[in-house]
Amino acid sequence: MAASGKVAAFRLPPLPTVKEIIKLFNLRAQKQLSQNFLLDLRLTDKIARQAGKLKDAHVCEVGPGPGGITRSILNADVAQLLLVEKDTRFIPGLQMLSEAAPGKVHIVHGDILTYKMERAFPKHLQKKWEDDPPNVHIIGNLPFSVSTPLIIRWLENVSNRDGPFVYGRTQMTLTFQKEVAERLTATTGSKQRSRLSIMAQYLCTVQNRFTIPGRAFVPKPEVDVSVVHFTPLVQPKIQQPFKLVEKVVKSVFQFRRKYCWRGVEILFPEAERLEKSEQMLMLADVDPTLRPAQLSILHFKNLCNAYRKMCDEDTSLFSYNYREELKQKKRTRKKGHLEQSARED
Ligand code: SAM
């Protein structure tokens, strides 16, 4: 059966198992690189199925490693599979898979954090943003240290419709540490609600599909892993530049246990903090005594719109940085102390 559940037109020929490949090429997982492999092909099939129908699709798999998920993607009868793998040790094993699926696989030995996906697939695959998603998918089980910065980068790409999203609303199926997946999909008022929840959900439909227990991986990580599916929204729920939304959301969640006015305040220089934060909350019609986790995406939309209006009126406001002001104050205080002790000496 194909990954879609239908009879496949393509099936990989008999190959050594993933376990045998690991042995053959001496691919011991490097703990410092957080390498944990999936050897159970039923599980890798299940991950590939989460991407939807992959027949004739153009797929980028990030971090294929010894190639478990890679086999499932190929068995789903894709048209093209691009593999981006950083660790050179995996390349020979992936080449073996490439030979078993002639003309379909392209291997890139590189870092997904710098790889330019906008040129990876043929131009004719491009769809209008408002159309259904293109037949282009990103699938990957990456180390957690890479997957979180990467999703933030890709969300910014969604907002700008560049990078992997020059093809349209490219769908992503990615693994995260279970707790991170819970944050990505957390609803208003839930304990896991965080910066990631807002950043992901204002741009995408985000679904936490299923959780894989840590024991399914070799070697076993300390944590469980969840598979999350992202489809960019036709209309983002907040229509402001990504960096502006990121700044507002980050500031509000800076004091996650306090009332939300506390985080709003730090968007403004100390001298005008009280007045401006009151003005912003009034403009946005947000109750200052709500906690960050209680704010809906609509609240954030109103906060971002209000902040944008204030930035348009005061063009120096957006570049204001709370941490910089704190550091500057500390430096000034330290300098004052030094000058005073020099005078006393
Ligand atoms: N996908 C395989 C699996 O499920 O068995 C391997 C998973 S392992 C957790 C992560 C893989 O991502 C490793 O092969 C590692 O070398 C690769 N990797 C780590 N950082 C990467 C990066 N920045 N760009 C591309 N690949 C990366």
Please state, as a whole number, how many other Cβ atoms lie within 10 Å of the Cβ of residue 95.
13
Q: Which of 40, 108, 142 most suits a substitution to test ligand 1, by most atoms within 8 Å of the C-beta?
A: 142
The pLDDT of residue 160 is 98
Predicted local distance difference test score (pLDDT) of residue 273: 96
Question: Are the beta carbons of 203 and 235 closer than 8 angstroms?
Answer: no
As a dihedral over the C-alpha atoms of residue 280, residue 286, residue 292, residue 298, rounded to 10 degrees, the angle is -100
- 60 pocket-lining for ligand 1 (C-beta < 6 Å): no
Residue 150: C-alpha distances to residues 68, 144, 244, 258, 335 (Å): 21, 10, 19, 29, 40
CA distances 46 to 76, 187, 344, Å, are 11, 25, 73
For residue 140, report the distance from its CA to the centre of ligand 1, in Å.
8
- Which ligand 1 atom minimizes the distance to the CA of 84? 25
pLDDT greater at residue 14 or residue 160 = 160
Backbone dihedral region for residue 68 (phi beyond 0: left; psi -120 to 50: alpha; all else: beta): alpha
The yes-or-no verdict on residue 332 having pLDDT over 70 is yes
Pairing of the two strands 80-85 and 105-109: parallel
The answer to whether 276 touches 310, Cβ cutoff 8 Å, is yes
Q: State the average pLDDT over residues 202-208.
A: 98
Atom 18 (ligand 1): residue with closest C-alpha?
A: 63
* Element (DSSP H or E) covering residue 63: none
Q: What is the pLDDT of residue 9?
A: 66
Q: Is the per-residue pLDDT at 209 higher than 70?
A: yes
Residue 62 CB–ligand 1 contact under 6 Å:
yes
Does the pLDDT at position 215 exceed 60? yes
Helix axes 144-160, 242-252, angle to 10 degrees: 130
Q: What is the chain's mean pLDDT, rounded?
A: 93
Task: Please report, rounded to a whole number, the percentage of residues in the chain having pLDDT higher than 70.
Answer: 97
Greatest CA separation for the chain? 88
Sign of CA dihedral 142, 146, 148, 152: negative
Contacts within 8 Å (CB) and 24+ apart, 238-243: 238/202, 238/297, 238/300, 238/301, 238/304, 239/301, 240/304, 240/305, 240/308, 241/159, 242/155, 242/156, 242/159, 242/160
With bands split at pLDDT 50, 70 and 90, how would you rate the model's confidence at 32? low
Residue 129 above 60 pLDDT? Answer: yes
State if residue 58 touches ligand 1 by the CB under 6 angstroms criterion: no
Instruction: For residue 343, name the pLDDT band (cuts at 50, 70, 90).
Output: confident
Distance 173 CA to ligand 1 centre (A): 14
Mutate to test the pocket of ligand 1, among 85, 97, 108 (most ligand atoms within 8 A of CB): 85
The residue with tokens 């797929």 is 59
The reported pLDDT for the residue numbered 83 is: 98
CA distances 322 to 120, 241, 309, Å, are 40, 20, 19
Residue of minimum CA distance from atom 3 in ligand 1:
37
The two three-digit tokens of residue 244, written as one number:
């502006």
* C-beta of 47 in contact with ligand 1 (< 6 A): no
Question: Which of 18, 31, 35 to mutate for ligand 1's pocket (most ligand atoms within 8 Å of CB)?
Answer: 35
pLDDT of residue 331: 86
Whether the predicted pLDDT of 1 surpasses 60: no
Q: Where are the beta strands (DSSP E) in the chain?
A: 37-38, 58-62, 80-85, 105-109, 136-140, 171-177, 204-212, 217-218, 225-232
Q: Which residue has the higher pLDDT, 30 or 71?
A: 71
Question: Which residue is it, tokens 């490219």?
Answer: 170
**Region 234-244 average pLDDT:** 98
Regarding the beta carbon of 146 and ligand 1, being less than 6 Å apart is answered yes
Q: Is 114 helix (H, G, I), strand (E, B) or coil?
A: coil
pLDDT computed for residue 3 by the predictor:
45
Q: Are 261 and 198 in contact, with CB atoms under 8 Å apart?
A: no
Query: Which among 144, 141, 170 is positioned nearest to 155, based on CA atoms?
Result: 170
For 126, 156, 202, 327, 342, the CA distances from 230, given in Å and listed in that order, are: 18, 13, 12, 38, 60
Residue bearing the bigger pLDDT, 338 or 130: 130
Considering Cα of 235, then 241, then 244, then 247, what sign does the dihedral take? Answer: positive
Contact 59, 126 (CB under 8 A): no
Kind of pairing between the strands at 225-232 and 171-177: antiparallel
